[in-house]
Amino acid sequence: MRNSLWKSDIGNLLVLRNVDPETVADVLGNCPVITLELGQVLLRTGQINQSLYLILSGQLAVFLDYPEGVPVALLEQGETVGELSVIDDSPVAAFVVAQQETRVLEVDEKSFWRMISVSHAFACNMLLLLSDRLRSSDETILKNVRLRKRFQRDAMVDSLTGLYNRRWLDFQLPRLIGRHVQGGVPMCAIMFDIDHFKVFNDRYSHDIGDDVLAMVAKTTMLSIRPTDLSARYGGEEFVVLLAGVGIDLAWIVAERLRRAIESEKIVIEDGTELPSVTISLGIAEVRNDDSADSVLKRADTAMYRAKNTGRNRTCREQ
């Protein structure tokens, strides 16, 4: 780290308050400064982390569940993150994501423990920081409970399938599109529905139809990556969002999903096996000028072309 950079930033770091500048320069002088772009993930749940991060500028958000949810904490300039996993070698317990362009000083495990051993002030500051975290833990838990209840009230999850619902999609898709366009990363939307589902419902009952919807949702989740997102758009229509995927790879994913659902057996309570269901899929790739409505409209148009040309097939946007 350059001395000029250090002098301009040291005064904002709470954990280095009252620490001898020469000690800081000696121990941390070669630690790298990392610049995070908007939406870039610094730490993720389950990750093995061996670094303490000191926030020089910008803002980081902490998410307990997924990085597109509601943050449980915001970390500002001068604060730290990652210290607990360095101290006890436990996996990271939350996602930490940049909310704007953010600069952090990465302090490796060796440098961290050296600072603890050579600087009483640093050790005290770290102890005070951890104490504050413990005192606020009850408040954080209560806040998280309130946030979860709010999501339940807002019904962001479809109760039948366990997938996100249309309201969640309307809220999140514009943000996801903006993030991927800004980052220059490809993204595709797959829209599909169950072929002749009304006929299936009328013949076998709506209860069995509900079982089929749940089966389609489960098969969808097993056919995509954990980082991909899926939602029940309405009725028997579903949407899958593929991050970092171009249209050629999206077609492969769609075909894998189509074959998986077609091969899934449907057995009712008396042991009778019913005919399998099929789906028709349409794919659209996000463009730089896209809105949520425009990309879903193209995917929907491609889906109806699949239905009009025989069903049980995948079509790309034209």
Instruction: Kindly calculate the radius of gyration of the chain based on its CA atoms and give it in whole angstroms.
Output: 25
Cβ-based neighbours of 276, under 8 Å, separated by 6 or more: 261, 262, 263, 264, 265, 266
Question: What is the CB-side half-sphere exposure of residue 269 using CA atoms within 13 A?
Answer: 5
For the annotated catalytic residues, the residue numbers are 236
**CB-CB contact of 189 with 291 (8 Å):** no
The CATH class for the domain spanning 3-147 reads mainly beta
Residue 176, number of CB atoms within 10 A of its CB:
19
Which amino acid type is present at position 312? N
Distances (CA, A) of 275 to 198, 202, 306: 14, 14, 21
**CB-CB contact of 249 with 272 (8 Å):** no
For residues 38-68, one letter each, b for 16 or more C-beta atoms within 10 angstroms of the residue's C-beta and e for the rest, the string is ebbebbbeeeebebbbbbbbbbbbbbbeebb
- Please report, in tens digits, the pLDDT of each residue of the chain (318 residues total): 444 445 556 667 889 988 888 888 899 988 999 999 999 999 998 899 999 999 999 999 998 877 777 788 889 998 999 988 888 888 888 899 999 999 999 999 999 999 999 999 999 988 888 877 766 655 665 666 666 666 565 668 888 998 999 988 998 899 999 988 888 899 999 999 999 999 999 999 999 999 999 999 999 999 999 889 999 999 999 999 999 999 999 999 999 999 999 999 999 888 889 999 999 999 999 999 999 999 999 999 999 999 999 999 999 998
Distances (CA, A) of 203 to 207, 263, 290: 11, 20, 40
d(CA 209, CA 233): 16
Which amino acid type is present at position 125? N
CATH of domain 166-316: 3.30.70.270
Question: What is the CB-side half-sphere exposure of residue 167 using CA atoms within 13 A?
Answer: 9
Sign of CA dihedral 291, 296, 302, 308: negative
Domain positions in the chain: 3-147, 166-316
Is the pTM of the predicted complex or chain greater than 0.85?
Answer: no
